[in-house]
Amino acid sequence: MNVWEVTTDSERERCYAIRTKVFVEEQKVAAENERDAFDTAPSTRHVLAEVAGRDAATARLLVDGPGHVHIGRMAVHAWARGSGVGRAVMEKIHEMAMDYAVDGVTRVELSAQETAMGFYRSLGYEAKSGERYLDEGMWHQDMVLDLRRAEA
């Protein structure tokens, strides 16, 4: 397994290909809604992961402000689910999120599909309010985690 921060346009295109497969083809998200202006914003950071040399998972990190980030577009190919690659992507994103810490803390928020909330809870996330909402026909809830820099 290999997980890294995307540094080239071609790597970002590979992220888009995973997202298209998962969100558009598998989950039936409207293709015109899958990409947005955040994808190419200068502050947006993307992660790409391979399993056995195949592109397997991706996510993006949006900077909301000092000490506050948002994770989005987390996608894992169906064939790679259960391999640990999703957790590895989140660990890499968490590492990157700490670049924006204030006093050693970064608040991380995400919009979780309800079917994935157990996964996010296993990483320490909690439902922000418990309110659910439909996004692209799927139930979601906002979740939050306060990441703290390890004491040296």
Checking if the pLDDT of 132 tops 90, the result is: yes
Q: How is domain 2-148 classified at the CATH fold level?
A: Aminopeptidase (3.40.630)
How high is the pLDDT of residue 79?
98
Question: E strands within 6-150?
Answer: 45-51, 54-65, 68-76, 105-113, 126-135, 138-148
| Residues 68-95 pLDDT 10s | 999 999 999 999 999 999 999 999 999 9
How high is the pLDDT of residue 150?
78
| Residues 88-110 pLDDT 10s | 999 999 999 999 999 999 999 99
Checking if the pLDDT of 152 tops 60, the result is: no
Report the SS3 class of residue 65: strand
How high is the pLDDT of residue 151?
63
- Token pair for residue 127? 């439902």
- Token pair for residue 11? 């790597």
- Token pair for residue 99? 């670049």
User: Which tops the pLDDT comparison, 65 or 151?
Assistant: 65
